[in-house]
Amino acid sequence: MNTFQGTGTGRRIAVCLDDHGLHDGIDAATLELAAIGRLSAVSVMSEGPTWPASADALRAVRQARGGALDVGLHLNLTEPLGGEPGRPLGRLIAQALLGRLDRKALADTIARQIDRFEDGWGAAPDHIDGHQHVHQLPQVRELLLAEMQRRWGRAPAGARPWLRASASPGGRALPFRFKAAVISTLGADALRRQAGQGGWPVSGRLLGVHDFQADGRTLGSLLETWFTLARDGDLLMCHPGAAPRGASAPDPIAAARATELALWRSEALGELLERRCIHIEPMSRLLAR
């Protein structure tokens, strides 16, 4: 492991902002935090109302960062986007566990969202994950991996998109460990195993699970705990966002996004990273080492 400014041994993790494309307040937070190095990955809802209009600005900040920003697809199966009605997460999970999802419709949805991402970005995604972790569910993960194989199966190892594993570190010190364990149980190990069989790179453990109810002080405490638990190669998901400027559907976690944005842009966050010896890097680079 590398060392960097600060005391102790440095740990390299990826920090990924989810839901880019859902509204312009989230997109603005993406650009601000990526520009100051607080993010190393962005997950795009390609059927969101601000994609692909936000792609040029995102491309510019990535270029200014010397490419140190992974931009990938945030597969959506629950929000009503792209003309789809959406569906409750619980119903989707139940149908997936029972093997009752419409395979043809699901395969078409996966392909369409990848197409829309690539049309806006002009390249394949650096990674793929899922809104509410749907990418790891039975049926979904198999069809996603099949589509990835069809598109990029002949690409060299270093040019393949990586996948997010939603497996938590576990242990009594982990905040919201029950919720994190439920997310893990819904398919993280199976996704890692099946991806490995196909030669697809997978991120380390997932940090950042919480209930979107924390105030700034509590969220700061949660981040300090996650940074303490982090080890080289882990991924921390986050959901910062400003209030949307244009018309958009109601955002049920708008207040939580504002709290996260205030913390992630703060000097206190920089001091916390320094104190815990955390270095934010793109997962694609971590996996290549």
Domain CATH code at residue 273: 3.20.20.370
Does 1 have pLDDT greater than 50?
no
DSSP 36-62: TTS-SEEEE-TTSTTTTTTHHHHHHHH
pTM, two decimals, is 0.95
Q: Indicate the average pLDDT of the chain.
A: 94
Asked whether residue 5 is domain-assigned, the answer is no
- In this prediction, residues 48-59 reach a mean pLDDT of 97
- In this prediction, residues 108-134 reach a mean pLDDT of 98
Phi, psi for residue 65 in degrees, rounded to 5:
-85, 10
- In this prediction, residues 87-93 reach a mean pLDDT of 97
Q: Say which residue the tokens 């102790």 belong to.
A: 8
Does 169 have pLDDT greater than 80?
yes
Dist CA 50 CA 24 (whole Å): 6
% of the chain residues with pLDDT over 70: 96
Number of structural domains in the chain? 1
Which pLDDT does position 4 carry in this prediction? Answer: 29
Asked whether residue 175 is domain-assigned, the answer is yes
Tens digits of residue pLDDT in 262-286: 999 999 999 999 999 999 999 999 9
Tens digits of residue pLDDT in 26-37: 999 999 999 999
Range of the domain at 102: 11-246+254-288
Asked whether residue 230 is domain-assigned, the answer is yes
Asked whether residue 3 is domain-assigned, the answer is no
Q: How confident is the model at residue 170 (pLDDT cuts 50, 70, 90)?
A: confident
127: number of CA atoms within 13 Å, CB side? 30
CB 286 within 8 A of CB 231: no
Question: How many residues comprise the chain?
Answer: 289
CB 140 within 8 A of CB 107: no
